[in-house]
Amino acid sequence: MRHFCQPGTTLIWANKTRFDSDLVFVENFTKTFNTALLADNGEVRIYSATVREESELVMVKERKGEDENEAKQEIPEGRVKRSTGEQVQEYEDKDEQRKPGDGDVDNREESLHLEDVNDIKEEEEEEEDDTNLETEESGDEESDGSTSVQQNSEEASAEKKHTRAWAPTVYYRPQKEVYHFLGQDITIEESIDSYGGTIWPAALALCRLLDTPTGRQQINLLDKSTLELGAGTGLLSIVATLLGAKLTATDLPEILGNLRCNLNRNTRGQWRHEPRVTALEWGGALEHTFPRSTHRYDYVLAADLVYHHDYLTELLDTMRHFCGPNTTLIFANKVRYQADLLFIANFQEAFHTSLMTELDEVRIYSATRRI
């Protein structure tokens, strides 16, 4: 902030206070800049600020020293010293009652501070709730392998009742996952998105297969034109690129930033062919945006894409579109709901399929399009 705010620059800063450290930052911010509060909706405060001159900063430091010395002075018995920001109020009795609604600035500032503390407590409680929820979900995933057909049916029914529109919002999360494939560490940055920002079992299973001599013999990606559908965080695309594929990784526009970053970070300087990243929404006017005459692929990779059951028709149409007469589709999937079984049935009607292997409840198919 200091670096980019030269004389004549206006800084507009919007902030929601969540933790005690935020309050310390606000205090330092007001000491560094000449600030004015533009708006306060009860949660977010918006400031306008300009950089202080050196002489002003010296005065602020001197005033801070005076305030600290004054605070050390003995306080008369039964009286307290009230402080608001940089202003120090006069001594007053602890028992003194202030009249409600008297418009006192000190009361208003104290009220805002209490609201900040309450916000902090609410945020901490929400984080605890989220942690408990994640623990419960983790337990559900571990027991997924022994789920009966009846339970699957109940889950499918519950999912139908709670269907939500899929419009992922991706935020950066400073959390890294490190995987070891093809003799090297692959570092993946995940993002906070229910689906596209997380690595799922089918991608890991397919990477494990490609990490074996048998798997590379079955799926020979060297110098092959390869398309990945729903690339997500990019782990499978990274492995394919390191195996020498001419790779194009696709996903929704919201996912591409993190995908491109992971792909470049783990393959730059090692690729045989520079990978491409492009937006692709399933279904729609694919012949217009990706005409078959110019988009021909030797391999199409698809791992753990059967999540959004409102889009299964579009997914199958997209698979058909990109699979020409000489294209091999590698499809890895973990069955979770009854609707997944219906998609598999439709998939096998549209393609000649063979089950290559099953790893950790993930089935990996090789398929070619029916004429």
Tell me, what DSSP letter sits at residue 273?
A: S
As a whole number of angstroms, the distance between CA 371 and CA 352 comes to: 10
Phi, psi of 364 (to 5 degrees): -115, 120
Structure tokens at 65: 């020293």
Digitized pLDDT (tens) for each residue of the chain, 371 residues in all: 999 998 899 999 999 888 888 888 999 999 999 999 999 887 899 999 999 876 555 555 556 565 556 555 554 444 444 444 444 444 444 444 444 444 444 444 444 444 444 554 555 555 555 555 544 444 444 445 444 445 555 554 444 433 333 333 433 444 578 999 999 999 998 776 556 678 889 999 999 999 999 999 999 999 999 999 999 999 999 999 999 999 999 999 988 988 999 999 999 999 999 999 999 999 878 999 999 999 999 999 999 998 767 788 999 999 999 999 999 999 999 988 888 899 999 999 999 999 999 998 999 999 999 97
Beta bridge partners of 79: 93
Sign of the torsion angle spanned by Cα atoms 339, 340, 343, 344: negative
Torsion of CA 304, 308, 313, 318, to 10 degrees: -50
Q: What is the pLDDT of residue 309?
A: 72
Tell which residue, 335, 295, 352, 342, has the closest CA to residue 318: 295
Q: What is the pLDDT of residues 236-283, one digit of tens each?
A: 999 999 999 999 999 999 889 889 999 999 999 999 999 999 999 998
Q: What is the pLDDT of residues 192-208, one digit of tens each?
A: 655 667 888 999 999 99
Q: Which helix (H) or strand (E) element contains residue 19?
A: none
Structure tokens at 260: 């491109």
Q: In the chain, where does DSSP find H-type helix?
A: 20-32, 54-72, 105-142, 149-161, 201-210, 213-218, 235-242, 256-267, 286-289, 312-322, 338-350
Tell which residue, 318, 358, 309, has the closest CA to residue 338: 309
Listed in sequence order, the residues at least 6 apart from 175 whose beta carbon sits closer than 8 Å to its beta carbon are: 189, 190
Tell which residue, 351, 290, 292, has the closest CA to residue 316: 351
Listed in sequence order, the residues at least 6 apart from 171 whose beta carbon sits closer than 8 Å to its beta carbon are: 191, 192, 193
Asked whether 17 and 120 are in contact (CB, 8 A), the reply is yes
Asked whether 331 and 367 are in contact (CB, 8 A), the reply is yes
